[in-house]
Amino acid sequence: MRLDKFVAHTTPHSRSEVRLLLRAGRLRVNGQPVKDAGLALGPTDTVALDGTLLTLRGPRYFMLNKPAGVVSATEDGEHRTVLDLLRGENPEGLHIAGRLDIDTTGLVLITDDGQWSHRVKAPGRHEKRYRVQTARPIADDAETRFATGLCLRGEEDQPTLPACLQRLGPCEALVWLQEGRYHQVKRMFAAIGNHVERLHREAVAGIELDPALSPGEWRPLTSAEIAVGRVPGS
């Protein structure tokens, strides 16, 4: 691993900041001052910052209650991103395990473990649950049509996988999906002649949004939640 990448993963400093640390002589490898940010570290090399030995941490896993108006991206020139909300955490290497539209709220999982996020997002292996509010009363046959599969506009030859819809009121429902197509929930309701007014994700892969988290707040996942994400079909 490169020295700058190692330091970025073990401290709050970005790679560009690592170069400043090197110029200031604050970093040492095997007790010796170094200047090369691209120095390749071996398995027995030691790195210290201001005399403190750095240790490579394990993968990181977070849940965030995404508010409306925040984009599910690592960077964006116009809007705040979910990573901007992770105050105090180094964003180096982090990515979103399942994005939400800018106006959709709720559970977002963030990690630097690529294999874990791939399993969480795999179609048909992990369910996602959404709370939906619609512009018009939900049709009586909506449950049946969702369970059968719907042909979405532009994807008429690929019906959706069976989905579960549970009506909570005339214009409110819970929806369970096994896949994650572009704007899928909104397009499914459009396919039955309705319009989604509000959309909130409550759960992904058996991981429930912590009700103690206000919009914009986050916390690390528990070991049990991380394990749930590792088990196919949990």
User: Which pLDDT score is estimated for 232?
Assistant: 55
Domain that holds residue 79: 61-122+206-230
Is 101 part of the annotated catalytic residue set?
A: yes
Convert the pLDDT of each residue in 35-76 to its tens digit: 999 999 987 889 999 999 988 777 899 999 999 999 998 888
CATH of the domain at 19: 3.10.290.10
Convert the pLDDT of each residue in 77-104 to its tens digit: 889 999 999 988 878 789 999 899 999 9
Q: Give the integer Cα–Cα distance in Å for 202 and 213.
A: 12
User: Which pLDDT score is estimated for 1?
Assistant: 85
Are 70 and 29 in a shared domain?
no
User: Which pLDDT score is estimated for 109?
Assistant: 97
Last residue within a domain, chosen from 29, 53, 77: 53
- Per residue, the 3-state secondary structure of 160-226, as one string, reads CCCCEEEEEECCEEEEEECCCCCCHHHHHHHHCCCCEEEEEEEEECCEECCCCCCCCCEEECCHHHH
pTM, two decimals, is: 0.78
Q: What angle do CA 179, 106, 186 make, to 5 degrees?
A: 50
Spatial CB neighbours of 78, under 8 Å, sequence gap ≥ 6: none
Q: What is the mean pLDDT of the chain?
A: 91
Is residue 233 predicted with pLDDT exceeding 60? no
Looking at 36, 101, 113, 210, which residue is catalytic? 101
CATH of the domain at 118: 3.30.70.580
The three-class DSSP label of residue 7 is helix
Please count the structural domains in the chain. Answer: 3
Say what angle helices 114-121 and 223-230 make with each other, to 10 degrees.
Answer: 60
